[in-house]
Structure 1
Amino acid sequence: MGREQRAPRKRSTTPEEPTATGPRSRRTEFGLAELIPDRDHPQAWSLLLDGAPQSHVDLADPTRLAFEYQRRLGHLVDLAAAPGKPIRVLHLGGGALTLARYTAATRPRSRQQVAELDTTLTEWIRAELPTPSSWQIKVRGGDARAVLERAPEAGADLVIADVFSGARVPAHCTTVEFATLAARALAPGGRYAVNIADGATLAFARCQVATLLAVFPEVALIADPAVLRGKRFGNLILVAAHTPLPIAELARRTATDPTLARLEHGRELAAFTGGAPVATDASAAPSPAPPPNTFKHVGR
């Protein structure tokens, strides 16, 4: 799903990469964090918070994005500028820093800031899954919205909101006011990407699309067709901008992913909202809780 995250402390040399042996756990300020080893990759781990999957990290290959929603966000990192060109990224959430690691590995010298509310989780991830000292990942402990409010105007090429409290997106990070703050933080030509979760009637997802369309002229949605049909609970990626989105290239890339994806844009996406209301600070609610057993055996 995703959590607010904080950067590892600086080290003078490239850190030694720990080999996965068995599960590790730590009680944090907001729940039980677990690192579950990947049986097929000896230096890879899944981060779970209270049983909900948050991130997957492969220390041996930070460009390997195992979770489907992270691969889709990775496509947006790839399309943010010419290949290899450094970019400025503001991560509102980040789990075990998977997307920040991916950006640093694929776009050296990129400047990145990550927000994480759970500072105990941050310290634990720093120790268990360290990053090279050369990566320019700065982290600020605090609420994602508070960090976004203080973000420099036009200071980011890409803003990624992957903010979850447990398995739910908190209400104050779902509103038109929040989206307006994200738009303010974007440099000309920049893009805003959001990870959410929904299922069944998709009422929350429809509301979130309507909310972004109230701020941005360009919005697209990427999700598993089964999720869009309400057949299962899962992640949906929204991307928004004030300039045309690379729809054709984004569709091509998602079509090559191991999991099926459907991309909605334009009239089809406007119709998807079905007249859903725009979320405001006065009316917003968190995303729905996952159905029972949604994450049973995930990452284990």
Structure 2
Amino acid sequence: MFEVETDAHGGTTVSVDGFPQSYVHPDDPELLVFGYVQHLAAVLDALPAGRLAVTHVGGAAMTLPRYVQHTRPGSPQVVFEPDAALTDRVRRDLPLPRGHRIRVRPQPGRSGVTALKDRSADVVVVDAYADSQVPADLTSLEWFGEVARVLQPEGLVLMNAADEPDRRHVARVHAGLAAHLPHTLAVAEVDIWKRRRFGNLVLVGSRQPLPLATITRQVAKAPFPSRVLNGTELTRALGSAVPFTDHDARPSPPPPVPAGQWRLR
């Protein structure tokens, strides 16, 4: 079940199963209120100027596709959002910008990506939840093999992962990602790196070295203190782990607080 609620400032929050999934201000596509969305945008902003072919796994109100259209006009984008009723509501209440090249397909992310052509995307963004958890089939070694297949040789995958302070789940997700796209980094708010709370970490992977310095500068602009870890720092932060496979994958841990305690930023 989803809810669409507009605030006094003209922004709209889309909640699914009681948890906020997207925030959109139709007149200001650069207003990104969730910390992890700011991190996703920071990585995209670190890439060379110009259009990007972006595949989004998970859509909701399509905050990030709108941002990409605003900052890189004319970028061809595909969004896999299985909830067709939600998409219809968003299209009615929050129309996409004029001149966009955003195609929304009512498919689950795994089957949608599997059907894509080789090397068809510059970036794949994985930001999908079901019952407030990242679906198990988007965490496995085989899944990241499919993502790597559809990426251009210098392409990137960006994944919004969520975990408890021990980070054991995200460590296994990262291991699967790194097996196919060995140049990796992760972005999170400082208190998450300090293991103070459950939270979101953005994982980034590529076949090629990442623009670490540029990403770090972009992340430093975030309103809440955040850090970028890679290499040995990231290994120490996550610890060693065995990748999930399709046989043992499981969804991310559920958020530990009642939905009503989640705060917009």
What TM-score, normalized by structure 2, do the two folds share?
0.95
- RMSD across aligned C-alpha pairs, in angstroms? 1.5
Aligned equivalents of 1:198 and 1:283: distance in 2? 17
Matches within 5 A, 1:129-208: 129-208=94-173
Shift of 1:87: 1.2
Kindly indicate whether the alpha-carbon contact (under 8 Å) linking 2:43 and 2:218 is maintained by their aligned counterparts in 1: no
Moved segments of 4+, more than 4 Å: none
AA of the residue aligned to 1:298: R
Aligned equivalents of 2:240 and 2:264: distance in 1? 37
Q: Which secondary structure state, in structure 2, belongs to the residue aligned with residue 193 of structure 1?
A: strand
Residue number among 77, 84, 87 corresponding to 2:44 in the alignment: 77
Aligned equivalents of 1:54 and 1:224: distance in 2? 18
1:254 and 2:219 are equivalent in the alignment: yes
Shift of 1:131: 1.2
Q: Which secondary structure state, in structure 2, belongs to the residue aligned with residue 214 of structure 1?
A: helix
Aligned equivalents of 1:186 and 1:105: distance in 2? 23
AA of the residue aligned to 1:81: P
Q: Which secondary structure state, in structure 1, belongs to the residue aligned with residue 161 of structure 2?
A: strand
Aligned equivalents of 1:270 and 1:232: distance in 2? 20
Residue number among 8, 28, 35 corresponding to 2:4 in the alignment: 35
Q: Against the structure 1 CA distance between its residues 107 and 188, is the aligned structure 2 distance closer, same or farther, given a 3 Å change threshold?
A: same
Shift of 1:213: 1.5
Shift of 1:297: 5.2
Kindly indicate whether the alpha-carbon contact (under 8 Å) linking 2:163 and 2:200 is maintained by their aligned counterparts in 1: yes
Percentage of matched positions with identical amino acids: 36
Unpaired stretches in structure 1, ≥5 consecutive residues: 1-30
What TM-score, normalized by structure 1, do the two folds share?
0.85
AA of the residue aligned to 2:5: I
State the partner residue of 1:266: 231
AA of the residue aligned to 1:55: S
Cα deviation per residue 1:81-114 (whole Å; 9 max; x = unaligned)? 22xx111000001220000000111111110000
Shift of 1:298: 3.0
Name the count of aligned residue pairs. 265
Cα deviation per residue 1:206-258 (whole Å; 9 max; x = unaligned)? 11122212111200000112112221111110000001111111111111210
Kindly indicate whether the alpha-carbon contact (under 8 Å) linking 2:139 and 2:173 is maintained by their aligned counterparts in 1: yes
Higher-Rg member (1/2): 1
Shift of 1:202: 1.3
Kindly indicate whether the alpha-carbon contact (under 8 Å) linking 1:62 and 1:105 is maintained by their aligned counterparts in 2: yes
Aligned equivalents of 2:58 and 2:141: distance in 1? 19
Aligned equivalents of 1:79 and 1:274: distance in 2? 27
Cα deviation per residue 1:109-145 (whole Å; 9 max; x = unaligned)? 1100000111111111111111134100011111100
Kindly indicate whether the alpha-carbon contact (under 8 Å) linking 1:38 and 1:299 is maintained by their aligned counterparts in 2: no
Unpaired stretches in structure 2, ≥5 consecutive residues: none
Matches within 5 A, 1:1-300: 31=1, 33-39=2-8, 41-42=9-10, 44-82=11-49, 85-293=50-258, 295-296=260-261, 298-299=263-264
Cα deviation per residue 1:60-81 (whole Å; 9 max; x = unaligned)? 0112211111111111222232
Aligned equivalents of 2:78 and 2:72: distance in 1? 15
Q: Against the structure 1 CA distance between its residues 297 and 266, is the aligned structure 2 distance closer, same or farther, given a 3 Å change threshold?
A: closer
State the partner residue of 1:12: none
Aligned equivalents of 2:106 and 2:211: distance in 1? 33
